[in-house]
Amino acid sequence: MANEKRIWDFLWERIGNAFGVAGLMGNLYAESALKPTNLQGTYEKKLGMTDDSYTKAVDDGTYTNFVKDAAGYGLAQWTYWTRKQNLLAFAREKGTSIGDLEMQLEFLWKELGSYKSVLKTLIAATSVQEASDAVLLNYEKPKNQGDSVKMARAKYGQKYYDAYAVQPAPQKAEGSDNSMFTNLDLAAFCLAVYAAKWVYWYGTCGYKCTTSLYNSKKNQYPSHYTAARESGYKKDISDGKMCADCVGLIKAFFWLSGKLDGTKKYGANNCPDKSANGMYKLCVKTGPISTIPDVPGLVVWKDGHIGVYVGEGYTVEMKGFNYDCVKAKVTSGKWTNWGQLPASMLNYVEGAVEIVTYKLGDRELTKGDKGEDVTELQKLLLEKGYDLGKYGADGDFGSKTLAAVKAFQTDKGLTVTGTVNADTLKALTGADEAPIEDEPAFPSGTKVVTITGDSVNARIGDAQQYDTTGHVHKGDTFEWVATSPATGWHAIRMEKRIAWVSPNYSKVKEE
C-alpha cells in the first residue's frame, strides 16, 4: 500500500492526469506487482536466486551478469540489455541500490521522455483504458497484447483510479451546518501562500519546484516553459520555492487539505480538477465584479484567469510568470465577475480571516512584506543605528526599510539585494560572530557535522523523500549521531531531536 501511494504521488506530480497515472500504474502492477526488487519468476529457479538475493548480489558486485542475463527486473520488468545497462548506470550514478523505489521511478520517468507518443497519451488520456493501452502496446510491449491482456491491465489501473482519483461525496447535505472547510479557511490559505512567496508555474497546484517537475512541465507545456524563462525557473528550484498557477492556487487549498505543507491527494475535499473557466462555472452564485460583497473566499474571475477575494477589498492571485503570487486591490485587476463556490466544496460563514503570523527567520523578507517579523527586523535595524524615517518599526517593509537593509548589507560586506535572507539575518542577530565563551562548543574528540551548503533542509529520514524538520545554514555545527550506510546521510542532534542532512552539503570531522 505504501509503495502504490508513493508511486501514484510521484507520477501524478509529473503527468497531472489521473487517467494517465492509473493506466501506467496498472501496467506496472501487471509487470511487477509494484515491487521494485521483483525478479522475473522464471529466472528465480534458473539463477537460483530470490528477489532479495539477486538485488543484493547486483548491489555488492558478486553477480556481474545483470545487464546481459535477459531476466526481467524492477517495476517495469526491464529486460533488454541496453535498458538494464541504463538502469544499472543510473543506480550507480545515484548511489542507490538497484532495487531502490525512488531511483526506479526517476529512471522510469527519464526513460518515458524518449517515448513521446506514450507520454503525450498519458497526459491527455480521457479514460484509464486509453492510457493503459498506450503503455501496453508502445512501452511495455509484451508478447501477448491481446484483448484479454488489455482488459486485465486496464482493470488493474481502474483500481488505482478509484482509490486515489475518485473522492466520496460530502457526508452532509448542501447548506447544512457541516464540518468542511469554510470560505475563511480558503482566504487564510491564500494569504499564507502570498506570505510564503509561492511562484507561478503553469500547470501546477502546490508543488515543490524541482528539476524533474520543470522537465515534465517543459515537455507538457513548451509554450510556457521557454528558453527565455529557464533561468527564472532554475532560480525557483534553487530557492526551494512552492509553485501553482491561477486555478492551481484553489486546487492546492483543497488537495493539500488547507495546509501549506499538507499531503496532496488528487480530487480531495470534493474539489474537481478544473480549468479557471471550469472552476468559475461551478459557482452557485455569480455577479459583475462591481457588485462583489465583502465576503472572503469568493472567487474573482475573468476569461481564462481566476483568483480569490480575501476581504477588505483585496484579492490574492497567481498572476503569471513575471508576477508570481500577488495581493492587490480588487479594483486594480481586470476582473469581470465574482462567484461563490458550491456548498459541496465550501461552507460560507461570517467571521474574520485568521492571519498567519511569522517570527523573524521563518521567511525571507522583501519590500512589500508586512507582519510581526518585519517589526522585529525594523527594531534590529533601529538598534544598530539605521534610519527608518518617521514611521519607525511599523511592521511594513517599505522604501525606508529597504534602504536601511541595503545600507546594512553594504556595511557588512554582504551581497546587496535588499532581501533579508539567512546570511543577512545572521549578521543582524550576531549569529555570524565567533562565540566569546572560552570553552569549546563540543568536548575534544567529539564528532561533529559542519554544514557546507548555504541553506540546507534537515529531514526526518536519511533521504530526500522524507519530510523537512528544519533548516540549517552554512557554517552551522552539530553533534554527529550516525551516518546511514545506505545513503551516506548524516544524523545530527538538533536541540531535542534527531535530523538528517545530505552528505552533499555537510561534512563530518572530529573536534
CATH number at residue 424: 1.10.101.10
The amino acid occupying position 443 is P
pLDDT at 157 (0 to 100): 93
Owning domain of residue 418? 372-429
Asked whether residue 159 falls in the same domain as residue 231, the answer is no
Distance between CA 130 and CA 18 in Å, rounded? 12
Asked whether residue 377 falls in the same domain as residue 414, the answer is yes
Asked whether residue 47 falls in the same domain as residue 116, the answer is yes
Distance between CA 125 and CA 16 in Å, rounded? 11
Residue 358 lies in a domain: no
Residue 259 lies in a domain: yes
Question: How many beta carbons lie within 10 A of that of residue 457, not counting itself?
Answer: 19
Distance between CA 367 and CA 386 in Å, rounded? 16
Residue 178 lies in a domain: no
Judge whether 40 and 79 are in contact, CB under 8 Å: yes
Residue 172 lies in a domain: no
Asked whether residue 67 falls in the same domain as residue 200, the answer is no
CA distances from 312 to 296, 367, 434, 455 (A): 8, 21, 47, 36
Question: How many beta carbons lie within 10 A of that of residue 387, not counting itself?
Answer: 11
Asked whether residue 501 falls in the same domain as residue 388, the answer is no
Contacts of 383 (CB under 8 A, 6+ apart): none
Asked whether residue 107 falls in the same domain as residue 158, the answer is yes
Residue 379 lies in a domain: yes
pLDDT at 407 (0 to 100): 92
Asked whether residue 206 falls in the same domain as residue 256, the answer is yes
Crossing angle of helices 116-124/18-32, nearest 10°? 120
pLDDT at 173 (0 to 100): 36
pLDDT at 357 (0 to 100): 73
CATH of the domain at 127: 1.10.530.10
Cell for 468? 523537512
pLDDT at 18 (0 to 100): 85
Domain count, the chain: 4
pLDDT at 193 (0 to 100): 93
- Determine the 3-state secondary structure of 327 from DSSP: strand
- Determine the 3-state secondary structure of 493 from DSSP: strand
Of the residues 300, 323, 340, the one at which a domain ends: 340
455-459 and 285-288: which strand pairing? unpaired
Please give the model's pTM, rounded to 2 decimal places: 0.51
pLDDT at 432 (0 to 100): 53
Asked whether residue 244 falls in the same domain as residue 289, the answer is yes
Residue 362 lies in a domain: no
pLDDT at 309 (0 to 100): 97
Name residue, grid cell 492556487: 249
Distance between CA 255 and CA 237 in Å, rounded? 22
Strands (E), 220-323: 242-244, 285-288, 299-302, 305-311, 314-320
Judge whether 409 and 424 are in contact, CB under 8 Å: yes
Distance between CA 507 and CA 20 in Å, rounded? 42
Judge whether 348 and 182 are in contact, CB under 8 Å: yes
Asked whether residue 415 falls in the same domain as residue 454, the answer is no
Q: What is the DSSP string of 136-164?
A: IIIII--S--SHHHHHHHHHHHHHHHHHH
Residue 473 lies in a domain: yes
Q: How many residues does the chain have?
A: 511
pLDDT at 444 (0 to 100): 58
Distance between CA 77 and CA 508 in Å, rounded? 39
Asked whether residue 255 falls in the same domain as residue 127, the answer is no
CATH of the domain at 297: 3.90.1720
Asked whether residue 411 falls in the same domain as residue 460, the answer is no
User: Residue-wise pLDDT tens for the chain (511 aa)?
Assistant: 578 888 998 898 788 788 899 999 999 999 999 999 999 999 999 999 999 999 999 999 999 999 999 999 999 999 999 999 999 999 998 899 999 999 999 999 999 988 888 988 898 888 899 999 999 999 988 888 888 899 999 999 999 988 887 544 334 333 333 357 999 999 999 999 998 889 999 999 999 999 988 998 998 889 999 999 999 999 999 988 999 999 999 999 999 999 888 888 888 888 988 899 999 999 999 999 999 999 999 999 999 999 999 999 999 999 999 999 999 999 988 999 999 999 889 999 888 887 767 788 877 888 878 888 899 999 999 988 899 988 888 888 889 999 999 999 999 899 999 999 888 998 988 765 544 444 445 555 678 999 888 778 888 888 887 777 777 888 888 888 888 888 888 988 876 578 889 998 899 987 6
Q: What spatial distance separates the first Cα and last Cα of the chain, rounded to whole Å? A: 45
Residue 351 lies in a domain: no
Asked whether residue 188 falls in the same domain as residue 215, the answer is yes
- Determine the 3-state secondary structure of 465 from DSSP: coil
Judge whether 109 and 14 are in contact, CB under 8 Å: yes
Radius of gyration of the chain (CA): 26
Phi-psi region of 304 (alpha: psi -120 to 50; beta: other; left: phi over 0): left
pLDDT at 346 (0 to 100): 92
Crossing angle of helices 399-411/422-429, nearest 10°? 80
pLDDT at 495 (0 to 100): 64
pLDDT at 441 (0 to 100): 52
pLDDT at 437 (0 to 100): 43
